[in-house]
Amino acid sequence: MNAVSIFFLQAMLVVALPYLLWRGAGLQAAFPLVAVQVLAGIMLGPSVFGQLAPQGWSALFGPDHLPMLSGLQWLAVTLFCFLTGLHLREDAATTHWHDTLRISLGSIAAPFVLGGAAGWWMIHAGWPVAGEQANPYWFACAMGICTAVTALPVLGALLREMRLTGTPLGQLALRCAAVNDAWVWLFLTLVLLQQGSQQGAGALVIGARAVAYLAFMFGVVRPALAWLLRRAQETELLLAVAFFLVLASAFLGELAGLHHVMGGFVAGLVWPSRAAQRVRQQLEPMTVVVLLPFFFLAAGLRTEISLQEPMTLWIAALSLVVAVAGKMAGVALPALRAGMGWRRSLALGALLQTKGLVEVVVLTVLLDARVISTTAFSGLLLMALASTLLARPLTLMVTHGRLR
Share of residues in the chain with pLDDT > 70 (%) = 92
What per-residue confidence (pLDDT) applies to 91? 58
Closest of 352, 15, 22, 403 to residue 155, by C-alpha: 352
Per-residue pLDDT tens over the stretch 351-387: 999 887 788 888 888 888 888 999 999 999 999 989 9
Q: Which residue has the higher pLDDT, 121 or 50?
A: 121
pLDDT greater than 80 at residue 307: no
Q: Which residue has the higher pLDDT, 240 or 210?
A: 240
Residue boundaries of the structural domains of the chain: 3-399
Q: Which residue has the higher pLDDT, 1 or 135?
A: 135
Average pLDDT of the segment spanning 39-67: 84
Torsion sign across C-alpha atoms 389, 395, 396, 398? positive
Q: Are 392 and 31 in contact (CB under 8 A)?
A: yes
DSSP conformation class of 166: T
What per-residue confidence (pLDDT) applies to 218? 93
Mean pLDDT of the chain: 84
pLDDT greater than 80 at residue 242: yes
What per-residue confidence (pLDDT) applies to 317? 95
pLDDT greater than 70 at residue 203: no
What per-residue confidence (pLDDT) applies to 93? 47
Question: Confidence band (pLDDT; 50, 70, 90) for 143?
Answer: very high
**What is the Cα–Cα distance from 227 to 250, expressed in whole angstroms?**
22
Burial 74-98 (b: 16+ CB within 10 A, else e): bbbbbbbbbbbbbbbbbbeeeeeee
Per-residue pLDDT tens over the stretch 149-184: 888 777 877 887 787 877 888 888 888 887 887 787
Point out the least confidently predicted range of 35-44, 183-192, 196-205, 304-313.
196-205
**What is the Cα–Cα distance from 396 to 347, expressed in whole angstroms?**
8
**What is the Cα–Cα distance from 284 to 290, expressed in whole angstroms?**
10
Q: Are 359 and 384 in contact (CB under 8 A)?
A: yes
Query: What CATH number does domain 3-399 carry, 3.30.70.20, 3.40.50.720, 1.20.1530.20, 2.40.50.100?
Result: 1.20.1530.20
- The HSE-up count of residue 25 (CA atoms within 13 Å, CB side) is 13
Share of residues in the chain with pLDDT > 90 (%) = 24
pLDDT greater than 70 at residue 296: yes
Per-residue pLDDT tens over the stretch 71-111: 888 888 889 888 878 877 765 544 556 778 888 889 999 99
Three-state secondary structure call for residue 312: helix
**What is the Cα–Cα distance from 145 to 153, expressed in whole angstroms?**
18
pTM as predicted: 0.80
**What is the Cα–Cα distance from 389 to 31, expressed in whole angstroms?**
6
